[in-house]
Structures are given as C-alpha cells and as structure tokens.
A and B are shown apart, each in its own frame.
Chain A
Amino acid sequence: MMSTALSTVSRSSAKLSPARRIRNTLMGGLILLATLAVVAPLILIFLYLLREGVGALNLDFFTKTPAPEGETGGGLLNAILGSVTMLAMASVIGVLVGVAGGIFLAEYPRHPLMPTIRMISDVLAGIPAIVMGLVAYGLIVLVFGFSGLAGALALGFLMIPIVVRTTEEVLKLVPLNVREAGLALGLPQWLVIMRIVLPAARGGIITGVMLALARVAGEAAPLLFTAFGNPNVNFDPSKPMSALPLEIYRGATSAYDENQRLAKAGALLLILLIFATSMLARYVTRQRK
C-alpha cells in the first residue's frame, strides 16, 4: 500500500524529536488496541455460541417443536419453518416493490416524483424495526388478528429500502452505451430495461436481496406483536407463526434452562445462516468485479 511505503520514507529521512516519535508510536498502538476492542465482541459472541449451542444443534433441534415448559428435549422446527415461510412472503413484497423502486430511481431520473421517492425510501431505511411492527399491527392484526402475514408484511416493509438502494446503484453501473445500443436497434425503453439492463444487473440485484434477507432474518422486534409466535408448526399465513429470532428472544428471557439452551442453539444457527448469506453475497460481488 502506498501509505505504508510513504511512512517508511518519512521514518528514515526525517530527524524526529523523541516527543514526536513517542506520540507517533503511542497513537499507532492505541489505534491497534481500539481495533482489537472493536473486533473482540464478534469473536467472543461467536465462540460463546459455538461452545454453548453446538451441543443442542442435533437432529431433534431440526425435527421437533419445543417441549412444554419445564420439560426437556424438543427443538425449534416450528421457528425454522416459520422463519422460512415469512421470509419467502416478505421477499415477494421486498423484491417486487424494491426492484421496481430501484428501476424507477435509476431509469427515470428526470421524473418529477423521483426526488420524493428517493428521499422517502432513504427515510424508511432508518425507521426502527419495532415501529414497523406497530404499523403492521395496526394494518393487519387489528383487523385479522395475529398472523404470519402481518409478520411477513412488517419484514417486507423493512426489506424494501435496502433492495431499492442496491438495485439503483447496480443499475447505474450498467454503462449508458449498452442502453443506447438497445435503443439504436429500435427497442422501446421498457424492453431495453427488461431485456438488457436488468439481465446485466441481475447478479448485483440478487446480492442486494440476499443482504436484505440477512438483515431482516434476525429481526424479532417487528414480529413480537404481528406474527406473535406459535409452539406448533404452522404454514397458514392467517394464523400466528413462529420465527427463529422470536424463539431466541423468548428463550433467552425465560427462566427455564431448557428454553435457554434452545435459544443459544437457535442463535448459533441464526448467525451461521446470516454470516453465510452475507459472505456469499460478498463473494458474488467480488466475482463480478
């Protein structure tokens, strides 16, 4: 790196007063220490969950529902399937609206509504997940009761701004002359977008969707009063549904050892899945460059 090379030059050529040299070394050391302090929690959390959770990640964990309070055994099948179902439903909302929003921002930059939609999408990205839970509660739960659909809606709302942002950025990376080539062949703009621009940007859009999924897969706050949780396996989106982060929350705050054990195993599974997803997304991105 250039900066390292430069620092070697400065060290050998300049005559430094001891005070300046000591301060330079001291600050370098502090910066290294601070970096260690930043990275340490991640490693500590991972090692802790590995030690406590890996024993409980057995066949029962993936094939059984939680045992009744106070009894031992059981697994989190209900939560795993609930998470998968709700994330699939959330993706439909997130991808449809998110990709369309991204196309709108990138391909119609002169549309009068463009600045408004861009600003609101950015603002939506910062709204706390729990507030989105309250919104989905008001929209769905008050009318239809606790349901997987309400949970999926809250998660979908949270996905939209992330997908919008990445889609827009990726579409802008597609060179202008590719579009012009399409237009020169007589294609209307919408076919240029659908047949040329979107296929060229597909990898990046998939990455964005995966990152959005990884982000909302760990959210429990918006599910607390929407999906609510369910001790049984349930695929019916009009009924309460469980999710991994919900079970982790309930288990970690429970007084029973057995629930805590399941919560730790669930947390291990969840962060492994999330890390794998974001690693894969990063790998795909690097391949493209």
Chain B
Amino acid sequence: MIEPARRPPSRGALSSQGDRVFQILILALASIIVLIFLLSLYQLGRESLPALQRFGFRFFTERTWNPVAGTYGAATMIMGTLLTSLVALLISVPLAVASALFVAEYAPKWLANPVGYLIELLAAVPSVVYGLWALFVIAPILGKWQTAFFLNPDNVGTITRCNELWASQQTNLQCFFVPSGAGGRGLALAIIILTVMILPYTASVARDVIRLVPADQREAMYALGATKWEVISRAILPYARAGILGGVILALGRALGETLAVAMVIGDSQEILKSLWGNASTMASVIANQFGDAQETIHRSSVVALGLSLFFLSVIVNYVARLIIARLTPKGIQ
C-alpha cells in the first residue's frame, strides 16, 4: 500500500515547520465552515432587518400576509409549516418504525438488504421529482374523489353550510374535513407527499438502532416464552426508544425545511386555513413562490425573515436531534 521512499525527504519536509504550516492550512480551510455559518446568519439577518424592525414580534403573530396592502405577518405560514410537518410525522413514524422492524427483525437476509436499500433510495429521490409525481399522479386521484363528493346529492346541505361558514372566514370541525375545491392540490396533498418524503429518515435511523439492541435482550424475553411481537414491543422498542426519537426529530427537521415538493402542490394561499383540502402555504413554500417576484423591499425583507426563522428552527431541531442520538444510543453508531 505504501510505496517505499526512493530518496529521503528533504530537511524542510521533516522539520516541525511543515507540521505547523499544514495544521494552519487545514484549520483555515475547516474554518470556512464556521465562516459559512456566520455569513449565512449575517446575510439573512441584514436582509430581514427592515421587516423585523417594522413589524417587530408581531411578524410572528399577525395572520395577514398581504403584499398589496404592505402588511406582512407570518402566523399563517408558521401554522402551515407546523401543521404539515407534524401531521406528516404522525403518519410516517409508525410506518417507518414498522419497516425498520421488518428489515431488522422479520426479513431473511436476502430480503432485508434489498428492502433496506430501497428505503434508502427513497431518501435519494429529489424533491422536485416527488412534487412532479404528486402533481401528475396523486392530485388527479384526490381530485376525482373531491368531484365525486361534490356531485353526491347527499352532500349538498353540508357544502352549502360550509361555504357560508367559510365566507365569514370561519370553520368548524366538520367543515374542516369538507373539500373546498376539486383540483386535488392543497394542504392534504402536501401532507401526503411530505409523509412519503420523510419516511426514510426515521426508518434508517430506527433500523440502525434496532440492530444494535443486544441479542441478550431478545433471548431473555424469548426464554420467558414470549411471542415475537411481545419481544418487539416489550424488549426491543423500549430499548431502542431514544435512538428512534432522534431519528424522528431528524425527520422533523427535514419536513420543516422541505420546499419544492410542498411549494408545487400546496396551492400557495396565505389566507386563513379553512379546510384540510384547501390551498395553504408553508414558510419554505412562500420563499420559493414569492422571493423571485417580490419587488418592494419590505416584501423581499419579509420573505427573507421567513428564511431566517427557518434557519433558527432547523438549527434548534437538528441540534436537539443530534444531542438525543449522541446521548442515548449505545456506543458504536454515529
């Protein structure tokens, strides 16, 4: 592997001078990482300053986002981001953990490897491709169901009642689940595609953690006469709980920042959310949809302020995830 030295290295190379120069060089290059972080913070902070100065903390609590009137409040998008991410997480976590259990506990080796690999490929599919698929395949399916709902004579009463309620900017539990359009796009579609997109993150962390559960843990339970499911639910999952939680938070970080797939299907509406099927927006989708068109300084600055909030949100979420994974998983995985 190492070729024998043909001639002795020169004196300069052997002195500790070379070591010092090399260390400074490596440190300088590595410091670029810190520089990027600080520059990002500075750029985002500088550009969002006008909006934050003008609206102050109300930027995060105000619900009106109206470029025409020049008022910008991000509460609706923050709600949109949290709602889509958390609901997607709620649906995807059980599926992801189940698939991890399948790969680590149930599947024979010849099946476990390909399935595990397919799940990892799911993470490699680009956001735009998910968006394209959701737009061309899932949206028409939802649209067909929505049309059928509107055409069903039994639903006329409900629809009229909900339309009146929506017109006065209100909603109730029943109307929240009534479709408000027949195009298929909207909040529900965004949640569906987000669910699919974040599955692999939880799944691969969960699989690694489950594989690290010591065999003694399983054997002790089997020796007591437990069934496979009892071993999983009482011996394996409790042991792997902390690591799985780390994976869940990592997936949350992904969901919060997911941009184009969501921007393509969510319908880009900044109005108050009235129906699960209605158009909505998330912080990331507003950046993608509006930053390019924003002409006025205050509009642009408000959009960057969303970016800054997203920056802090993802820093916190990822930091917590790493902390949990580092503290609570058994030694041996990264």
Name A's B-contacting residues (CB within 8 A): 1-4, 6-7, 9-10, 13-14, 16, 20-21, 23-24, 27-28, 30-32, 34-35, 37-39, 41-45, 48-49, 52, 96-97, 100-101, 103-105, 107-108, 111, 113, 116-117, 119-132, 134-135, 137-139, 157, 160-161, 164-165, 169, 186-191, 193-196, 199-200, 214-215, 217-221, 224-225, 245, 248-249, 252-253, 260, 263-264, 267, 270-271, 274-275, 278, 282
Contact = CB atoms under 8 A, between A and B. Distances in A.
A44 to B, nearest CB: 7
A122 B37 CA distance: 11
B314 A126 contact: yes
Contacts of A248: 126, 128-129, 132
A270 B229 CA distance: 41
B303 to A, nearest CB: 8
A104 B124 contact: no
Given A38-B96, A195-B2, A282-B117, A135 B39 contact: yes
Interface string B35-47: 0110110011011
Nearest to A20: B227
B114 to A, nearest CB: 9
A44 B46 CA distance: 44
Contacts of B117: 282
A97 B315 contact: no
Contacts of B177: none
Nearest to B130: A45
Of the candidates B117, B132, B133, B322, the one having the most CB atoms from chain A within 10 angstroms of its own CB is B132
A121 B257 CA distance: 17
Contacts of B260: 130, 220-221, 249
A248 B264 CA distance: 11
Interface string B128-142: 111111011100000
Given A6-B222, A39-B118, A267 B129 contact: yes
Given A127-B257, A188-B14, A218-B125, A97 B304 contact: no
B2 A128 contact: no
B128 A267 contact: yes
Interface of B is mostly: helix
B252 to A, nearest CB: 10
Given A1-B108, A35-B115, A130 B288 contact: yes
Nearest to B102: A35
Given A6-B222, A38-B203, A195-B2, A270 B126 contact: yes
Contacts of A32: 102, 106
Contact of B225 (A14, A111, A160, A253): A14
Contacts of A23: 227, 229
Contacts of A107: 26
A37 to B, nearest CB: 6
Given A10-B227, A39-B118, A124 B128 contact: no
B33 A164 contact: yes
Given A97-B32, A164-B33, A263 B132 contact: yes
Interface in B248-265: 250, 253, 256-260, 264
A196 B40 CA distance: 36
Given A35-B99, A157-B36, A218 B222 contact: no
A252 B128 contact: yes
Nearest to A132: B40
Of the candidates B115, B122, B128, the one having the most CB atoms from chain A within 10 angstroms of its own CB is B128
